[in-house]
Amino acid sequence: MPASQVNRKPDFTSVIKHAITQHVKDNQFIGLGSGRAMTCLVRELGKKTFKKNLKFVVTSLQIGIEAEKAGLFVLDAPQTEQIDIVFDGADQIDANLFMIKGGGGALLREKILMYSARKVIILADSSKFVDQFTRSVPIEVSPFARTTVYRNLIGIGAQIELRQSATGYPYFTDNGNIIFDASFTFILNPEALEKELTCIPGIVEVGIFTRRADRYYKASSEGLFSIIAFRKDGPYVISP
């Protein structure tokens, strides 16, 4: 493979323009996830004249700061209104369109928004799409339950790492919790594992997302993309 093609970042420009044109409507209440694609989305939304008619809720301080810079009207929480649409990214998406999320530490808020929205749109580069999950599962844990959760996870065969910040201290989420990154030899049934993990006292949320999104944008480094959805017989591609 030529050196110029190694580790090339995906070009989200065409993906984001298409997603905004197709899914953003006047007077919507929009949820924003975290990650590089969300940063690009926020900056593009900031260029739109109709942004003054939109309201936003964000899942991370990083995206909140970007939204403020872009002149978007950000609320602290969903309040009483249902969210019209959520845009988010993913760390991995398997063949059934289940996801692992939480690499940025915002899994609790991301899952809350996903289950609060009428429509969910995922923007991810092609490398995130896999046949079967191969990465660790982020697990948000109450600091009070650190030891007992650790023992329970070891008991079901997980290998655990306490996530650390760049300074070497434990990483704390915006909710004041810690994160265990749990590795499993195989994840054959993500739905069953999600349920098993959430039953462990002290686990606040799990980075396995088994509620499918309405649309998945699969972006390439060349600026091309495809759109994937799900029906009873499995995933299918929609022409852009």
Structural domains in the chain, sorted by start? 3-128+210-226 (3.40.50.1360), 137-206 (3.30.70.260)
Task: Give the separation between CA 100 and CA 8, rounded to whole angstroms.
Answer: 22
The whole-number pLDDT of residue 224 equals: 87
Task: Give the separation between CA 56 and CA 81, rounded to whole angstroms.
Answer: 11
Task: Give the separation between CA 78 and CA 58, rounded to whole angstroms.
Answer: 9
Q: Is 110 a catalytic residue?
A: yes
The whole-number pLDDT of residue 5 equals: 46
Which residue ranges in the chain fall short of pLDDT 50? 1-6
CB neighbours of 50 closer than 8 A, spacing ≥ 6?
26
Q: Choose the catalytic residue: 110, 140, 194, 205.
A: 110
Name the DSSP letter for residue 229.
Answer: E
The whole-number pLDDT of residue 104 equals: 92
Please name the residue ranges forming H helices in the chain.
Answer: 13-23, 36-45, 61-69, 107-114, 146-155, 190-198
The whole-number pLDDT of residue 211 equals: 95
Q: Establish how many alpha carbons lie within 13 A of residue 75's alpha carbon, considering only the half-sphere containing its beta carbon.
A: 16
Instruction: Enter the pTM of the model.
Output: 0.91
Task: Give the separation between CA 91 and CA 37, rounded to whole angstroms.
Answer: 12
